[in-house]
Structure 1
Amino acid sequence: MESLPRIDKINSGFSFLVSGRPYIMLAAEVHNSACTSRKYMQQVWRKVRELNCNTVLAPVYWEFIEPQENHFDFNLVEQLISDARSQNMKLVLLWFGSWKNGLSTYAPNWVKTDLKRFPRTEDEHGVKTRILSMFQSHLLSAELNSFTNFIKYVKEFDADEQTVIAVQVENEVGVLGSARDFSSGADKEFNENVPDELLRSIKNAGSNGLSSVIIDYEDTSDQSWRNVFKKYADEAFMCWHYALHINKLAESGKECYALPMFTNAWQKEFDDERPGFYPSGGPLPEMLDVWKCAAPDLDVLCPDIYTFQFEKTAGLYTRSDNPLFIPETRRDKWAAANLYTAVGTYHTLCYAPFGAESIGEDKSFITQIIHTNPNDKNVSGEAVKEFLSKSYKLLGNMMPIITKFYGTDKMIGFTQNCGHMTKHVRLGKYQISVEFYHQIHDDNEFIPGAGIVIQNSENELIFIGYGYRAYPETVNISKQLDFLSLEKGTYDETGNWITYMRLNGDEQYIRMEEKPTIVKALYYEF
């Protein structure tokens, strides 16, 4: 058996390795219910082939895997893995277990209906919710049994082929409608002191410049959640316990089959949004240090990025102890554009627009009704599909080159902002002015311009992307920059450069096409 997929430190960043080689998941995540129907999944496989994906993120469901306690059915899992192999796709399996998007809708019926063994969270008024509670509950032991059997099955069926390259544990955990669980069991735990290991870890994280939420905590005898975390107390308390639960799943799963494991977070829409409006307890940026302490067996904490603050969010999750990994993002006009920033600047391990089979379509997945809501901006179309497909093909062929620069400062990506026509980037000795071709607004049809620039050697730049002109200058004020050669071309599937045209004379400028393309420029200074 080949070495298992893993995440390694590389340079000053991270690399995801498959069969020992660096790999970027140029992916898409299917709709939640897609994997319940093998027939329906056939159109999904067609779509992801058209998109030039190399990886698919697909859910597996606790309610299907263990319909009766201790009676397991892995038929859907086997079908999913077998069909992925036939399409030459890698799989990331998403465990929809106790929690999905802040609720517990994927738990089996025997869990949902036994409120004595599996109580629900309660809000501050004592009203029970649709969310399974972790307190005074048998939930962890029950889910642990199912999850480890699931991982054992994946190993038994797939260890030789290694179609499955990672596992997501739960999905967007947290309490909706309340800042925390106010059940009697939760209150009892909340009234205990903050664990010493968490206090030590967060203090150390704060001193290292990470996103500590208690850097202003004064060391007193009062180590209650309320005193230590102040306004973050309810959320930090839920983070700690969700992270402990999920870490136990990951730890036990890896003992069975040591695949990379991660969990993801629903992001705030606004900075001042209160916990409960979003799932309170997930690994949001300000809570990453709590999660890192409680869940050391998770390889990555991931953002689902649907907000228009893509670069800000990507930056907050790109840390010395956490690579960027995007399991869900928009499928609208920003789907292709943000890819270039994610790969070029933040060196993401995964990029996956959500709703694979809806990319390129502007209708509802469930009803097939054409989108007419002007407030719904996350609407796809044929141009989105074309640009994403061409971008995946181009970057996929370049993967050995791109991954060589992961964790270095020799590569940078950029995306056009709404209402802006220029951008300025610095790469080594080069200061590059970028001019975009089209204004971008919500109500126009243009895909935002985007690109990656790689300093392949001291005097060679590779420009990737579409929809922009670029004007490099040397930062050496006593020198000027001029071309030795300028080539338009592409990389084939074996990573070899194929020249399409040598540009000179009136054409010797960095003018990217309207569609994704590559230009190589060799310079000299004088």
Structure 2
Amino acid sequence: MLTCQAQNHPQLKKQGTAVQLTVKGKPFLVLGGELGNSSASSLPYMKDIWATVKQMHLNTVLTPVYWELLEPAEGKFDFTLVDSIIYQARRHDLHLVLLWFGAWKNSMSCYAPAWVKKDQQRFPRAQKQDGSGLEILSAFSHNNLTADAKAFRILMKHVHEIDAAYSTVIMVQVENEIGMLTEAREHTAAADAAFNDQVPAALLDHLNKHKEEIVPELKQHWGANGYLTKGTWEQVFGKGLATDELFQAWYYTTYTNTVAREGKAEYPLPMFVNTALNYKNVKPGEYPSAGPLPHLMDIWQAAAPAIDILSPDFYNPYFKHYNDLYTRRNNPLFIPEIRFEPSDGAKAFYAIGHYNGIGFSPFSIESTDKPAEEPVAKSYEVLRQLTPVILAYQGTGKIDGALLDTTNTKQDIPAGKYVLSVAHDGTLGWSGIPRAQWGEAGGIIIQTGEDEFIVAGTGIVITFATTDKTTPIAGILQADEGEYVNGEWAAGRRLNGDQTHQGRHIRIPMGTWGIQRVKLYRYK
């Protein structure tokens, strides 16, 4: 069980309206990258990864832990890979987020041990309506849950023993992209019996208690049948795939909560789950049904108190839309997985600035031949410098972010007596870059005083207006570029000439990344 050694373990704490991760008692911003699924399965393969991620200014690596390699024979655990990765990360001054590839990885049970996969009577699979099996362990099996939770608990006990004094490991993901394919729910005998039974009172009590707060998608579905507080799943929620998905979600969630709870009993690190999003708007089962999706947030929050964060994985162009959905219901934003592409650099600024994000992590971060030249590496270098300031201002209403592209070219940010109009640098027309090639631009704006701002990012132009009617014109008093060195501002050039277009705007051009400190004034 947990000892006093780990009382200062990484944890989540509230600051104003934000939730922050604290490591060794101090707020921490995850500038992360997730390894490819198979990278951490081989020590020789891992040896060159550390230099790559250091060049990209990461402070955290998200790495899988594979149940099949951790427990290759039942009851016999091999920590060689886990220990090596923890020790190497520590040696390179990097933190880790562990991704438990247990019963499910991208819906499937591909990382379950062979002794589980081959004994289908003891460890049953999910089944389709026609009775055929799936490469998915059933969430309705006590044996599946017990074996998974036991392995996870032993993992967390071991991590506590070797790492509690160091906090190399700072968070843990429980399972990976849970969800049913190719049907909305399981059709084993146990699942069908549960489906025809009463809806658990714990769920209905939660919905009734939070009736005016639950996400509108769920409220509408429940309300269509009269907000019943007793009955079978089809009596309460009606017939159809949406009800099948709600049912499956409840049992995925209670399963996952048990696994997380067992792990936290040994080492209570922050724990999260991640989601494969239904961005193509297809039916449950055509996307991974019943995972921690935005319309199911209340199910997951009701049944999984041991899970601290529900996280979106991004392989779609709807970045703002899904972040808006995942910051409902007091859910902190942590992005553990996003396609590794040039737009990540701008998106990292926006997620951290606008949503008070805990962190950001492109997938397969090691798969680059030019790590220092990646846009996200350049953004991370700026964010690394700004981290103490960002963490001080998150949750205060004094920090925001901008994300711009060829469609959304401008964004207004109110800040005290000022309104900052942030536009894509391409709108100036000076670069000569065709509109189709602009790429995404992004930045963070922090108001450090009534008339003082820190502006950081790439490809942005900012003009200023004021709501002060007595002095209705806003001007730039001074603008300095520079950098933060060991948390202290080191000013570079004063930019009050051509770089500000003679006081008309603040600009960080496309293809450049920078930080500027700006003072404004107002006049008639």
Q: What's the TM-score once normalised by structure 1's chain length?
A: 0.91
- Residues in 1 aligned to 2:373 and 2:317: alpha-carbon distance in whole angstroms: 20
Retained in 1: the 8 A contact 2:406–2:436?
A: no
Q: 1:96 maps to which residue?
A: 101
- Residues in 1 aligned to 2:496 and 2:165: alpha-carbon distance in whole angstroms: 51
Output one character per residue of 1:155-207: Cα deviation in whole Å (capped at 9) or x when no partner: 11111111101111000011111111011111011111111110121233331
Output one character per residue of 1:38-74: Cα deviation in whole Å (capped at 9) or x when no partner: 1111222121111100000000000001111111111
Retained in 1: the 8 A contact 2:461–2:506?
A: yes
Q: 1:154 maps to which residue?
A: 159
Compared CA separation, residues 20 and 132, structure 1 to 2 (3 A): same
Output one character per residue of 1:447-506: Cα deviation in whole Å (capped at 9) or x when no partner: 4111111111111011111112110111224422123321111111x1111111112244
Match of 1:352 among 355, 361, 376: 361
Q: 1:69 maps to which residue?
A: 74
Q: Which runs of 5+ in 1 are unaligned?
A: 362-381
- Residues in 1 aligned to 2:404 and 2:128: alpha-carbon distance in whole angstroms: 43
Compared CA separation, residues 282 and 416, structure 1 to 2 (3 A): same
Q: 2:235 maps to which residue?
A: 227
Say whether 1:465 aligns with 2:475: no
Retained in 2: the 8 A contact 1:54–1:90?
A: yes
Corresponding residue pairs, total? 503
- Residues in 1 aligned to 2:68 and 2:47: alpha-carbon distance in whole angstroms: 23
Structure 1 residue 433, shift from structure 2 partner: 1.8
Retained in 2: the 8 A contact 1:148–1:256?
A: yes
Partner-residue secondary structure (3-state), 2:148: helix
Structure 2 counterparts to residues 311-390 of structure 1, below 5 A = 311-358=320-367, 360=368, 385-390=373-378
Match of 1:489 among 456, 460, 482: 482
Retained in 1: the 8 A contact 2:342–2:375?
A: no
Compared CA separation, residues 115 and 218, structure 1 to 2 (3 A): same
Structure 2 counterparts to residues 150-189 of structure 1, below 5 A = 150-189=155-194
Q: Which residue identity does 1:449 align to in structure 2? A: A
Q: 1:402 maps to which residue?
A: 390
Output one character per residue of 1:429-454: Cα deviation in whole Å (capped at 9) or x when no partner: 22122232338999955441111111
Percent of paired sites with the same residue: 37
Q: 2:226 maps to which residue?
A: 218
Retained in 2: the 8 A contact 1:332–1:384?
A: no
Retained in 2: the 8 A contact 1:48–1:357?
A: yes
- Residues in 1 aligned to 2:211 and 2:426: alpha-carbon distance in whole angstroms: 43
- Residues in 2 aligned to 1:464 and 1:244: alpha-carbon distance in whole angstroms: 43
Q: 1:376 maps to which residue?
A: none
Retained in 1: the 8 A contact 2:99–2:174?
A: yes
- Residues in 2 aligned to 1:92 and 1:340: alpha-carbon distance in whole angstroms: 21
- Residues in 1 aligned to 2:518 and 2:176: alpha-carbon distance in whole angstroms: 44
Match of 1:47 among 43, 48, 52: 52
Structure 1 residue 424, shift from structure 2 partner: 2.6
Match of 1:277 among 282, 286, 291: 286
Structure 1 residue 516, shift from structure 2 partner: 1.1
- Residues in 1 aligned to 2:475 and 2:437: alpha-carbon distance in whole angstroms: 36
Q: Which residue identity does 2:465 align to in structure 1? A: E
Q: 1:448 maps to which residue?
A: 440
Structure 1 residue 220, shift from structure 2 partner: 4.2
Compared CA separation, residues 206 and 310, structure 1 to 2 (3 A): farther
Greater Cα offset, 402-411 or 80-89: 402-411
Compared CA separation, residues 415 and 383, structure 1 to 2 (3 A): farther
Greater Cα offset, 384-393 or 40-49: 384-393
Retained in 2: the 8 A contact 1:211–1:288?
A: no
Q: 1:511 maps to which residue?
A: 507
Partner-residue secondary structure (3-state), 2:366: helix
Retained in 1: the 8 A contact 2:18–2:395?
A: yes
Retained in 1: the 8 A contact 2:346–2:458?
A: no
Q: Which runs of 5+ in 2 are unaligned?
A: none
- Residues in 2 aligned to 1:333 and 1:386: alpha-carbon distance in whole angstroms: 7
Partner-residue secondary structure (3-state), 1:125: coil
Say whether 1:416 aligns with 2:404: yes
Compared CA separation, residues 253 and 427, structure 1 to 2 (3 A): same
Q: 1:308 maps to which residue?
A: 317
RMSD: 2.1
Structure 1 residue 222, shift from structure 2 partner: 5.4
Q: 1:109 maps to which residue?
A: 114
Partner-residue secondary structure (3-state), 2:426: coil
- Residues in 2 aligned to 1:220 and 1:145: alpha-carbon distance in whole angstroms: 37
Structure 1 residue 229, shift from structure 2 partner: 2.8
Retained in 1: the 8 A contact 2:104–2:177?
A: yes
Say whether 1:500 aligns with 2:510: no
Retained in 2: the 8 A contact 1:340–1:452?
A: yes
Match of 1:123 among 117, 124, 128: 128
Compared CA separation, residues 444 and 37, structure 1 to 2 (3 A): farther
Partner-residue secondary structure (3-state), 2:210: helix
- Residues in 2 aligned to 1:6 and 1:222: alpha-carbon distance in whole angstroms: 37
Q: 2:250 maps to which residue?
A: 240
Partner-residue secondary structure (3-state), 1:59: strand
Q: 1:391 maps to which residue?
A: 379
Q: Which residue identity does 2:515 align to in structure 1? A: I
- Residues in 1 aligned to 2:408 and 2:333: alpha-carbon distance in whole angstroms: 26
Q: 2:211 maps to which residue?
A: 206
Output one character per residue of 1:70-126: Cα deviation in whole Å (capped at 9) or x when no partner: 111111100110111111100000000000000000000000011111111111222
Partner-residue secondary structure (3-state), 1:273: coil
- Residues in 2 aligned to 1:521 and 1:502: alpha-carbon distance in whole angstroms: 10
Retained in 2: the 8 A contact 1:190–1:225?
A: yes
